[in-house]
């Protein structure tokens, strides 16, 4: 595991634990098992001599971050210990001055919306159309970005997600070129794509494609502990010192060395065995493709009989995602998820509308992949063909009349949907699928929105509000 330029953090923690040093410092467990024997207390330290400082790295952590930058091809990498969430907040704050305009995909993660609210940003939206068969949002295109930048000439940052939760990849190289023509930096939320760019099977990595800021959750698709992530900077449109300052603002001042040790191990694994692991994973997914050719009613996005060519709105796809639709088999996503759980002992990542999402990683054995295939084939054999219902249309984006933070501040009221019509939203409403907000705080609750919420719910689409008071009521002002 050890690399000359980046000494192994976990090994150093272990060596330190064996020394006779009396810990008169945090954490309060003092590396004893007073709190229970299950946890690795011995390795859980704070910034003590020889262990560097996450927010001003110069030693072992700086070496690890340098390794991350070299592996992915960025100019500067930062360890993140509260997931992509902290990196997204910091990246947006570093690139978009408070109150400025940003251009963002409407389906962005809530951390992006939180950044917009916290920084008082003025958001304009990119709206990739939903796929006709699976209902999931498609790729953002360079043309969409160019048109939006022509209209919103004052935009200071473009933000999009690639791959999406369901694995849809956008053409980041072309989008980055468009952004750079306008002198605007591009932030890619690659929370689901830390595994991209190491093998032809998993293509579309945003760092090598030229994005200025890329945020990746190592924990989502690679062997690394939950909460571990990376931020990458490239080019000269974003100031690395400002990024570091913002990270120190959004992340804890007591970072976990266990988490950082896990990040380092994950990077070493990529460096030493990446090629082998990714080609073995790709081979197992090839096997999945072959097995799933046997499905008659269930459809699996870009796997089995389905392929990228059948989806006009997708530029690319991450084969690690297995999105199974029961739409032509008379099954809803949550039903399918429940069948996989109770009958086959398979716990999936999530279900919404008519599909269920199973996530794979290099840590899945061939046996696990075959078990998933076997379960899907067995469920499929019990299904009969069902005519697919059309996806209900989403309403047009409502007009924005005040900043999100102002709309959420004290003074909101909870009213029935009918009474809310014409007022200003004080919370978000999200439709799943396709996982985009129908309205965000500060936008008008139009009559068309009220009608659309009802139509979506009748069609079986879940509409959520932040406060959870739907379907009875919503927060407005």
Ligand X SMILES: Cc1ncc(COP(=O)(O)O)c(C=O)c1O
- Quick one: 338 or 349, whose CB is closer to ligand X? 349
- Quick one: 84 or 256, whose CB is closer to ligand X? 84
Neighbour count for residue 409 (Cβ, 10 Å) = 13
* Separation in Å, CA 243 to CA 87, 94, 121: 9, 5, 17
**Torsion-angle region of 177 (φ positive above 0: left; ψ -120 to 50: alpha; else: beta):** alpha
CB of 404 to ligand X, least distance (A): 18
What is the token pair recorded at 432? 């799943």
Neighbour count for residue 150 (Cβ, 10 Å) = 9
CB of 153 to ligand X, least distance (A): 28
d(CA 392, CA 394): 7
What is the token pair recorded at 379? 């469920």
- Quick one: 74 or 217, whose CB is closer to ligand X? 217
d(CA 63, CA 50): 13
- Quick one: 54 or 191, whose CB is closer to ligand X? 191
- Quick one: 214 or 339, whose CB is closer to ligand X? 214
d(CA 217, CA 323): 20
CB 408 within 8 A of CB 426: yes
CB of 419 to ligand X, least distance (A): 34
CB 131 within 8 A of CB 138: yes
What is the token pair recorded at 93? 């704050």
CB 299 within 8 A of CB 133: yes
CB of 85 to ligand X, least distance (A): 3
CB 99 within 8 A of CB 398: no
- Quick one: 161 or 234, whose CB is closer to ligand X? 161
- 289-322 burial, b if ≥16 CB within 10 A, otherwise e? bebbeebebbbbbbbbebeeeebeebbbbbbbbb
d(CA 239, CA 14): 36
DSSP state of 228: -
- Quick one: 84 or 234, whose CB is closer to ligand X? 84
Dihedral sign, Cα of residue 455, residue 457, residue 463, residue 469: positive
User: Within 13 Å of residue 468, how many CA atoms lie on the same side as its CB?
Assistant: 0
CB of 36 to ligand X, least distance (A): 26
Residues in the chain, how many? Answer: 477
With CB atoms as reference, the residue minimizing the distance to ligand X is: 83
- Quick one: 107 or 395, whose CB is closer to ligand X? 107
CB of 344 to ligand X, least distance (A): 25
- Quick one: 13 or 322, whose CB is closer to ligand X? 322
Which residue, 109, 152, 96, is CA-closest to 400?
152
- Quick one: 229 or 438, whose CB is closer to ligand X? 229
CB of 429 to ligand X, least distance (A): 19
CB of 217 to ligand X, least distance (A): 4
CB of 312 to ligand X, least distance (A): 23
Beta-strand ranges (E) seen in 162-315 are: 168-169, 186-189, 213-217, 229-233, 299-300
CB of 219 to ligand X, least distance (A): 6
d(CA 69, CA 77): 5
* Residue found by looking up tokens 């830390």 in the block: 194
- Quick one: 149 or 229, whose CB is closer to ligand X? 229
DSSP state of 233: E
- Quick one: 170 or 217, whose CB is closer to ligand X? 217
- 30-52 burial, b if ≥16 CB within 10 A, otherwise e? ebeeeeeeeeebebbbebeeebb
CB of 134 to ligand X, least distance (A): 17
CB of 111 to ligand X, least distance (A): 6
**Contact positions vs ligand X (CB under 6 A):** 83-85, 109, 111, 161, 165, 189, 191-192, 217, 229
């Amino acid at each position: 595991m050890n690399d000359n330029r980046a000494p192994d953090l976990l090994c150093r923690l272990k060596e330190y634990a064996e020394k006779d040093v009396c810990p008169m410092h945090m954490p309060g467990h003092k590396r004893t098992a007073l709190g229970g024997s299950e946890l690795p207390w011995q390795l859980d330290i704070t910034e003590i001599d020889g262990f560097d400082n996450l927010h001003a790295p110069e030693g072992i952590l700086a070496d690890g971050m340098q390794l991350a930058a070299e592996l992915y091809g960025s100019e500067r990498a930062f360890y993140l210990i509260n997931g992509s969430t902290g990196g997204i907040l910091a990246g947006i704050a570093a690139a978009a001055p408070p109150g400025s305009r940003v251009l963002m995909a409407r389906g962005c993660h809530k951390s992006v919306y939180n950044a917009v609210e916290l920084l008082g940003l003025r958001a304009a939206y990119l709206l990739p159309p939903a796929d006709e068969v699976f209902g999931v949002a498609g790729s953002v295109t360079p043309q969409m970005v160019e048109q939006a930048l022509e209209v919103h000439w004052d935009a200071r940052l473009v933000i999009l997600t690639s791959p999406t939760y369901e694995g849809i990849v956008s053409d980041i190289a072309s989008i980055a070129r468009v952004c750079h023509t306008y002198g605007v930096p591009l932030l890619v939320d690659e929370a689901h794509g830390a595994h991209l760019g190491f093998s032809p099977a998993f293509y579309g990595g945003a760092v090598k494609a030229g994005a200025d800021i890329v945020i990746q959750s190592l924990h989502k698709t690679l062997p690394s502990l939950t909460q571990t992530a990376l931020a990458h900077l490239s080019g000269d449109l974003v100031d690395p010192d400002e990024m570091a300052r913002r990270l120190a603002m959004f992340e804890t001042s007591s970072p976990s060395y266990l988490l950082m040790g896990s990040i380092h191990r994950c990077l070493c694994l990529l460096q030493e065995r990446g090629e082998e692991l990714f080609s073995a994973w790709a081979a197992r997914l090839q096997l999945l493709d072959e097995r799933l050719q046997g499905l008659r009613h269930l459809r699996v996005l870009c796997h089995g009989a389905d392929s990228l060519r059948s989806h006009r709105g997708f530029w690319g796809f991450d084969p690690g995602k297995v999105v199974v639709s029961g739409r032509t088999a008379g099954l809803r996503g949550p039903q399918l998820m429940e069948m996989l759980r109770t009958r086959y002992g398979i716990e999936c990542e999530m279900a919404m509308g008519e599909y269920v999402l199973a996530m794979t990683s290099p840590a899945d054995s061939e046996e696990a992949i075959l078990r998933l295939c076997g379960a899907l084939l067995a469920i499929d054999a019990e299904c009969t063909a069902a005519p697919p219902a059309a996806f209900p249309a989403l309403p047009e984006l409502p007009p924005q009349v005040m900043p999100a933070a102002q709309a959420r501040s004290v003074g909101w009221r909870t009213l029935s949907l009918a009474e809310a019509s014409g007022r200003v939203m004080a919370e978000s409403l999200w439709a799943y699928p396709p996982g985009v907000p129908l309205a965000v705080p500060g936008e008008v609750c139009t009559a068309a929105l009220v009608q659309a919420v009802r139509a979506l719910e009748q069609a079986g689409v879940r509409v959520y509000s932040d406060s959870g008071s739907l379907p009875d009521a919503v927060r407005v002002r």
